[in-house]
Amino acid sequence: MNWGKVVEVNDARVWNMMIIGQMTNVHIKPKEKYGVTQILRRRKKDRFVSAQKLYERIWIGYFLRSAEYLWKTILTVCLILLIIPIKVDWMLIVTLPIAVGVYHEVAGGLFLDVENVFHSLPVDDKVSISSYLKGAYLAALPLLISFISIQWILGEAWIGIVIQIIGLVLWMYRDLERVIQERWLTVQKEKFYSEGWKRFAGFIALGAGVFHPLCMFLIPLLLLTTRRKLPFNKVKSS
């Protein structure tokens, strides 16, 4: 059987029905098994069964099972940012790095359960990390909102808040990514260089940026000197 000819005929039927429908103002719905309709339907379905989407669904299920632990952590870091600086405003220099550090460590701790999450499924490290980080970044939004709120309450100038937000987002994005990568290598029992002193310096720069927004420019300079890649293998079996 000439399958190329079959597909060609099916596509021709579909397009002809579409043209006739437009000319006569009569809606003609082709059968789903024919040509273009089948291809478009399959493509739409494939968007929901890609590796990225499947990993995201698995992580969402894990987050839902850990919901109580998650909301307590998020609530705690938000209260650290909001309550203490209201009493003593300069304490935000200390509470911001602490809140960010606590959130990143908790997120890293949850990721250590990756083997139990995927059970016997083969795990693609890059897709697993990127899908987990997507959820972790979204969960960090209350922390960012709390920081903006407390700075507004304390009367920080908007230009200063904008600079601080840029520095904060940049540091949270890169540091959380690094934490999760290191946790993955820990699970796989692979050696790596953690560059802990640079991470400590980054949190110092974050606190200094609260004292003076221009200090936030130290963060991108620091990240430029940080090694970007860790040794990953493509697929690991849990």
Is the CB of residue 41 less than 8 Å from the CB of residue 32?
Answer: yes
- Cα separation of 3 and 207, whole Å? 66
- CA-to-CA distance for 37 and 7, rounded, in angstroms? 12
Query: How many whole angstroms separate alpha carbon 215 and alpha carbon 213?
Result: 5
pLDDT digits (tens, 9 = 90+) for 103-117: 999 999 888 888 777
Q: Report the candidate in 105, 114, 140 with the shortest Cα–Cα distance to residue 55.
A: 114
- Per residue in 123-148, pLDDT (tens digit) is 777 888 888 999 999 999 999 999 99
pLDDT, position 197: 82
In this structure, what DSSP letter does residue 21 have?
H
Query: 32-53 burial, b for 16+ CB within 10 Å, e for fewer?
Result: eebbbbbeeeeeeeeeeeeeee
pLDDT in tens, 39-52: 555 555 545 456 77
* Tokens 């949190």 -> residue: 203
- What element of type H or E holds 80? helix 67-87
Rounded to an integer, what distance in angstroms lies between the CA atom of residue 129 and that of residue 117?
Answer: 13
Distance between CA atoms of residues 51 and 126, nearest Å: 11
Say what the pLDDT of residue 115 is.
76
Residue 116 CA to residue 114 CA, distance in Å, equals: 5
Q: What is the maximum alpha-carbon separation in the chain?
A: 81
Tokens of 132: 């987990």
- Quote the distance between the C-alpha of residue 172 and its chain's center: 11
Would you place residue 14 in the very low, low, confident or very high pLDDT band (cuts 50, 70, 90)? Answer: very low
Which pLDDT belongs to residue 116? 79
3-state secondary structure of 112: coil
**Whole-number pLDDT of residue 12:** 44
In the 8-state DSSP scheme, what is residue 49? S
Residue 123, beta-bridge partner list: 236
Nearest to 97 by CA among 200, 177, 215: 200
Amino acid 65: pLDDT: 86
Pairing of the two strands 122-124 and 235-237: antiparallel
Quick one: angle between helices 141-153 and 125-139, nearest 10? 30
